[in-house]
């Protein structure tokens, strides 16, 4: 459906998008997740033909966005970060204007306007001035115009920014609903939002695509738990001594120590924490000390996000990280 190949964008000498490639199939909700300045809007502007790339290709259904812009753009509805809404118009007037610009007219235009007004829930405000609408409703008008022309792909750039909590929930529900009939790509810097709405997450950091997978797979692949917390009757010196011979421990932190027990955190770089747990257990038995409590910490997608976006000088895409 959409294929992005080696997309690169320089603003002057500043590299905003750095050799991004990915493929998007139809009928899913995709989330562009990344902190501010990551390059999400730049990528979306290029994908929708609003901005030229320095190099690379974007193809929509096989049509190159730069070589065959008309055919490619017909497949895409776009809500940019700052949509050019005409404040003195009503939603109805504005949708008529956009629909005509997209080549619709007559009864087909009327039918589609009715349909998108219904889909986005703006029937009650369709004759008000846009300037008098809340940000939530303006965003709906923006989504309605993206839907005109019945494009198969809807691209929404940070559609929930600046909305109040209730409006955010409504727009998220709307995105999920659109995902049943369209391919939806939306951007966000909020992990939980992307996690709850998307089938697939594209994590972008400093112009690079650092991960592309389902939320569940990202957690599984990238975050085998890497921390063990244990309570033992060994004192900190005995504890260090016992663990000296256990390989693969990258850090040992004593959190708490009374005369009777010690609480410590053990970190490892290894993937197989179960093997490490076993080695720790046997070391304690050999050292004639006992483990009173032992827990494996499970990583979260948030940890992945922080790790990936903080350390994106790491050249390897995260999906290919070694075990
Ligand atoms: P995001 O949408 O993820 O917040 P952007 O794509 O808007 O990121 O921006 C990526 C980087 O490119 C940022 O560092 C931003 O300052 C820079 N940038 C964006 N637009 C321009 C521009 N027109 N000229 C120069 N730098 C820009
Ligand atoms: Mg942006």
CATH number at residue 79: 3.40.50.300
Q: Which of 219, 205, 213, 222 is nearest to 313 (CA)?
A: 205
Claim to verify: residue 235 and residue 97 sit in the same structural domain: no
The whole-number pLDDT of residue 312 equals 52
257, β-bridge pairs: 262
Ligand 2 centroid, distance to 289 Cα (angstroms): 55
Quick check: 217 pLDDT over 90?
no
Q: Token pair for residue 83?
A: 């949509």
Q: How far apart are CA 264 and CA 236, in angstroms?
A: 9
Q: 7 and 105, same structural domain?
A: yes
For residues 236 and 256, give the distance between their C-alpha atoms in angstroms, rounded to a whole number: 9
167 lies in the same domain as 257: no
Judge whether 255 lies within some domain. yes
Does 290 lie in the same domain as 150? no
Percent with pLDDT over 70 in the chain: 93
**Is residue 17 in some structural domain?**
yes
The answer to whether residue 315 is domain-embedded is no
- Is there a domain that residue 153 lies in? yes
Domain range enclosing 181:
2-214+304-309
- The pLDDT tens digits for 100-127 are 999 999 999 999 999 999 999 999 999 9
Mean pLDDT along residues 246-260 = 89
Are residue 125 and residue 232 in the same domain, yes or no? no
Is 50 exceeded by the pLDDT of residue 317? no
Does position 141 have pLDDT exceeding 60, yes or no?
yes
| Ligand 1 lined by 42 (C-beta under 6 Å) | yes
Residue 59 lies in a domain: yes
For residue 276, the model assigns a pLDDT of: 86
Residue 97 has pLDDT above 70, yes or no: yes
pLDDT of 223 reads: 56
Share of the chain above pLDDT 90, in %: 69
Kindly report the CATH number assigned to the domain that includes residue 286.
3.30.70.120
Identify which of 323, 215, 207, 233 has the alpha carbon closest to the alpha carbon of residue 285: 233
Number of domains in the chain: 2
**To test the ligand 1 pocket, which listed residue (18, 39, 40, 158) has its Cβ within 8 A of the most ligand atoms?**
39
Say whether both 197 and 239 belong to one domain: no
43 with 75, same domain? yes
In a domain, 323, yes or no: no
> Atom 16, ligand 1: which residue's CA is nearest?
37
Tell me the pairing of strands 29-33 and 183-188: parallel
Are 23 and 153 within one domain? Answer: yes
The best mutation among 8, 11, 209 to test binding of ligand 1, ranked by most ligand atoms within 8 Å of the C-beta, falls on 11
> Is 54 or 217 the better-scoring residue by pLDDT?
54
Indicate if ligand 1 lies below 6 Å from the C-beta of 34.
yes
Determine the pLDDT at residue 94.
96
Judgement on whether residues 67 and 185 belong to the same structural domain of the protein: yes
* Per-residue pLDDT at 299: 65
Residue 213 has pLDDT above 70, yes or no: yes
């Amino acid at each position: 459906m959409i294929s992005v190949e080696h997309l690169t964008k320089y603003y002057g000498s500043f590299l905003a998008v750095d050799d991004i490639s990915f493929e998007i199939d139809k009928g899913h909700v995709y989330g562009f997740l990344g902190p501010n300045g990551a390059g999400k809007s730049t990528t979306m502007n290029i994908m929708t033909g609003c901005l030229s790339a320095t190099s690379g290709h974007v193809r929509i259904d096989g049509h190159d966005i730069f070589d065959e812009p008309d055919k490619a753009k017909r497949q895409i509805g776009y809500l940019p970060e700052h949509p050019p809404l005409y404040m003195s118009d009503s939603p109805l007037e504005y949708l008529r204007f956009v629909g005509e610009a997209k080549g619709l007219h007559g009864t087909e235009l009327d039918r589609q306007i009715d349909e998108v007004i219904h889909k986005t829930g703006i029937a009650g405000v369709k004759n008000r001035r846009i300037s008098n609408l809340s940000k939530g409703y303006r965003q709906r008008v923006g989504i309605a115009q993206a839907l005109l022309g019945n494009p198969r792909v809807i691209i929404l750039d940070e559609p929930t920014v600046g909305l109040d909590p209730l409006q955010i929930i409504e727009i998220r529900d709307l995105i999920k609903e659109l995902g049943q009939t369209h391919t939806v790509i939306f951007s966000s810097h909020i992990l939980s939002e992307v996690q709850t709405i998307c089938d697939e997450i594209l994590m972008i950091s400093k112009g690079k695509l650092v991960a592309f997978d389902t939320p569940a797979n990202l957690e599984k692949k990238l975050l085998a738990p890497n921390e063990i917390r244990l309570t033992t009757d060994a004192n900190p010196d005995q504890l260090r001594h016992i663990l000296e011979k256990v390989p693969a421990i990258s850090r040992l932190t004593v959190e708490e120590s009374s005369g009777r027990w010690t609480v410590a955190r053990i970190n490892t770089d290894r993937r197989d924490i179960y093997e490490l747990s076993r080695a720790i257990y046997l070391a304690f038995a050999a050292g004639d000390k006992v483990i009173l409590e032992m827990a494996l910490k499970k990583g979260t997608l948030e940890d992945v996000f922080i790790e990936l976006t903080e350390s994106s000088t790491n050249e390897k895409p995260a999906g290919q990280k070694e075990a």
